[in-house]
Structure 1
Amino acid sequence: MSLLFNSYPLARSVLFSLDAEAAHELTLSSLQKAYDCRLTRNLLASEPELPTTLMGLSLRNPVGLAAGLDKNGAHIDALGNLGFGFVEVGTVTPQPQAGNPKPRMFRLPRAEALINRLGFNNHGLEAFIANVQESQWRSKGGILGLNIGKNATTPIERAVDDYLAGLEGVYPHADYVTVNISSPNTQNLRSLQGQDELAGLLLPLQEKRKALADQWGHRVPMVVKIAPDLNTEQIDIIAALLPRYDVDGVIATNTTLSRDAVQGLPQAGEAGGLSGPPVHELSLRVISRLREQLGASFTIIGVGGIVSGKQAKEKISAGADAIQLYTGLIYRGPALIRECVRALA
């Protein structure tokens, strides 16, 4: 297993010779083929143990996969097999959508960063749920988060309709549901982080979840994913609203619009959300402030710029209860998962 994981730099040199989105699709399809073959599945299998409880859920370890890598939930088992304690897939929208025009993913290798303006490209809620139902991850004890968003064509003043449809659709298939209001690639989406807009979204979601809990006989935790570009006043408003509307946790953070850390690098001027190490300090600031405002018991999942065990520890020290990886996987490969678990242990 370690030989396969340690050979990732060789694979990366091939992948980085391709267009970023083409490499992304090739990686997922190759990983799926390796998982579908029992021999290579076992060679890739990793189960680093650091038992953790998160929102009442029992995790094998506190290192998760962030949403966005598997938008359609088509590779849950293959990704979980790499050693994650929990896997989050999506963002899914009620209706299928193509996303923004290509090219829409760009590498900044000198910063180990990415810029994407994908725009919630996905096959829609019906196909997403079918994929989730086919996966074995949950039946084998894995924890699955399902991330919901709004269609680009839905006016922002009717965004709540899309989130309610998403919550109702994914509820019976999720260990937790993430409400994504922080992608910079859907017009006006981040306005939902404002005080009145967020309250107007969370109240109907709270009521819908109560009805779904009665219908299905169990309560599914709900978390909100926020941006790294919020000022202190905006963070404090969100921190005040989340417990008021019975939200269980917060994911901090999504990608940034700031380019301060990558000025002058090739492709740094491309529009979209920047991920990777340039987001790390921004997310630490948000996490620290959230922990200060929310107290010790509220769940915070830290994400953004983790490319080593050291940064994983810094997320936890700032106040996160668990972490998620995405861009770090692209630059470091699956060995990063075990490195982070060991660092946190």
Structure 2
Amino acid sequence: MYPFIFRTFFVPMDAEVAHHVVVPVIRAFGVWPIAPVLRAFTRPAPALRTEALGLVFDSPFGVAAGFDKNVKMTAGLHALGFGHVEVGTVTAIAQEGNPKPRLFRLVPDRALVNRMGFNNDGAAAVARRLEKARRRRRRAVIGVNIGKSRVVDVADATDDYLVSTRLLAPLADYLVVNVSSPNTPGLRGLQAVETLRPLLAAVHEAAGATPLLVKIAPDLPDDEVQAIARLAVDLGLAGIVATNTTIARDGLVTDPAKIEAAGAGGLSGAPLRARALEVLRVVRAAVPAEFCVIAAGGVETAADVQERLDAGATLVQGYSGFIFRGPLWARQINRGLAARRGARAS
């Protein structure tokens, strides 16, 4: 059914408009009496319970940052079966993001190109919604992804991140420093270790007891990935998210004219799978066994998720697959993982 709906209604529609159309639907999934009925259908098997970051996750599979930027869908996404939701990216100052259109589907590649530019309502507004979301007795683990405000100079990035940290860390189950989006000028330059160290040290101190992770780009060479991994361990961070979107366009089968029309931005979805898996393995080899590594990028099936877990991921996130697989995507993943674990146990 969903493939027909996708081809008939969503493909002809602007991708960002389509996202806004489904937001109220997903929000409705999280409202009583819909939520408990839906959750009974989508609840992950007990065997999928995962402990990480001092937290308990119903499933190792969750939603990557970017899907729910402003904490409007966490209850609905939990009702759909996701074990955690990473909201954001949130900036200290509310911003509209880059000019539209800024989100594009490459359907033959099962991929997205986005240059959203951290469009969000700002840390203060997000904090108010987080406080409300945390009151729910049954909810997904909620991580918060923070980034640099566009109007703030890169030289002042640390102070900007600290504004968001102080507002959001007390309300987040975990916090992620995003220095790897390709859609904010100068942001990726913060991944250089000599620049990243004082930023992460300051945010780590301000975050207090809230687990802190850093999100990295797949376009970094392996030696820089290793250096950031060692830095994260040295600073006492809780983990790394590997990876963000890529600026590469290698191996795509979509019409080149359509790719050209989409323009600059981060590519996510199936084409990112191989490199994201490589980066995961590089990170895992450089950090202790207990260090949390969240894998993201090119994940669409239960086999993809299991592959990341087998490669050393503690948790796994997806985003683009939701667009191509539909609202029962998390249920499909969780059932597939449970079946695989049953087969391994037998």
TM-score (ref. length: structure 2): 0.91
Amino acid at match of 2:44: P
Structure 2 counterpart of 1:12, one-letter code: F
Who is 1:169 aligned against?
167
Give 2:233's aligned amino acid. Answer: P
Contact 1:227 1:252 in 2 (8 A): yes
Cα offset, 1:136, TM superposition: 5.2
Are 2:20 and 1:22 aligned? Answer: no
Question: For residues 245 and 138 of structure 1, what CA distance do their matches in structure 2 show?
Answer: 33
Aligned twin of 2:269 = 276
The residue number in structure 1 matching 2:278 is 285
Deviation at 1:38, TM superposition (A): 2.3
CA distance in 1, matches of 2:29, 2:71: 17
1:342 deviation in Å? 3.3
1:93–1:150 contact (8 Å) kept in structure 2: yes
Deviates more, 1:258-267 or 1:284-293: 258-267
Q: What letter matches 1:267 in structure 2?
A: K
For structure 1, which segment, 7-16 or 236-245, has the greater mean C-alpha deviation from structure 2 after superposition?
A: 7-16
Q: What are the Cα deviations for residues 118-142 of structure 1, in whole angstroms up to 9, with x where unaligned? A: 0000111111111212225753153
- CA deviation vs aligned residue, 1:299-338 (integer Å, no higher than 9, x gap): 1011111111111111112221110110001101133212
Structure 2 residue 207 is the aligned partner of structure 1 residue 221 = no
Spell out the pairing of 1:81-100 with structure 2 (5 A cutoff).
Answer: 81-100=79-98
Q: Distance in 2 between matches of 1:163 and 1:156?
A: 11
Aligned pair partner of 1:267 in 258, 270, 275: 258
The alpha carbon displacement at 1:8 in A equals 2.4
1:299 to 281, 289, 292: 292
Give the secondary-structure state (helix, strand or coil) at the position aligned to 1:202.
helix
Q: Which whole-Å CA distance do the structure 1 matches of 2:72 and 2:139 have between them?
A: 18
Q: CA deviation at 1:264?
A: 5.5
**Amino acid corresponding to residue 19 of structure 1 in structure 2:** D
The alpha-carbon distance between structure 1 residues 295 and 136, as it changes in their structure 2 partners (threshold 3 A), is: closer
Partners of 1:327 and 1:206 lie apart in 2 by 30
RMSD (Å) for aligned C-alpha atoms: 1.7
Q: Shift in Å at residue 11 of structure 1?
A: 2.8
Q: 1 CA distance for matches of 2:227 and 2:163?
A: 26
Indicate if the aligned counterparts of 1:74 and 1:132 stay in contact, CA closer than 8 A: no
- Shift of residue 82 of structure 1? 0.5
The aligned residue for residue 105 of structure 1 is 103
Change in Cα spacing, 1:40 to 1:193, as seen in structure 2 (3 Å) is: closer
CA contact (8 A) 1:118 1:185 kept: yes
Match of 1:46 in 2: 42
Letter in 2 for 1:258: A
SS in 1 for 2:251: helix
**SS of 1:342 mapped into structure 2:** helix
Could you tell me which runs of 5 or more consecutive residues in structure 2 were left unpaired when the two chains were aligned.
342-346
Query: TM-score scaled to structure 1, two decimals?
Result: 0.91
Find the aligned partners of 2:32 and 2:114 in 1 and give their Cα distance: 32
Does 2:326 correspond to 1:333?
yes
Q: 5+ residue gaps in structure 1?
A: 1-6, 214-218
Q: Do the aligned residues in 2 keep the contact of 1:77 with 1:136 (CA within 8 Å)?
A: no
Q: 1:238-291 CA deviation, whole Å, 9 max, x = no partner?
A: 011001111101110000000002166353231100000011111101000111
Q: Which residue is 2:5 aligned to?
A: 11
1:9-32 CA deviation, whole Å, 9 max, x = no partner?
233231222100000110112222
Q: 2:64 aligns with which of 48, 57, 66?
A: 66
Aligned to 2:154: 156
**Residue type of the alignment partner of 1:309:** A
- 1:165-244 aligned at under 5 Å gives the runs 165-209=163-207, 213=208, 219-244=209-234
Contact 2:242 2:280 in 1 (8 A): yes
Distance (whole Å) between structure 2 residues aligned to residue 129 and residue 143 of structure 1: 15
In structure 2, relative to structure 1, the CA distance for the partners of 1:138 and 1:187 (3 Å cut) is: farther
Q: Which residue of 2 aligns with 1:216?
A: none
Indicate the residue corresponding to 1:120 in structure 2: 118
For residues 10 and 264 of structure 1, do their structure 2 counterparts lie closer, same or farther at Cα, with a shift above 3 Å needed? closer
Whole-angstrom CA distance in 2 between matches of 1:280 and 1:202 = 27
Identity %: 40
Distance 2:135 2:299 in 1: 24
Which of 237, 240, 249 matches 2:239? Answer: 249
- Aligned residue pair count: 331
Deviation string 1:91-124 (CA, Å, 9 cap, x unpaired) is 1101110100000001000000000000000111
Which segments of structure 1 move beyond 6 Å, counting only runs of 4 or more? none
Partners of 1:275 and 1:120 lie apart in 2 by 16
1:206 Cα offset (Å): 2.4
Whether the 8 Å contact between 1:178 and 1:225 is mirrored in structure 2 is yes
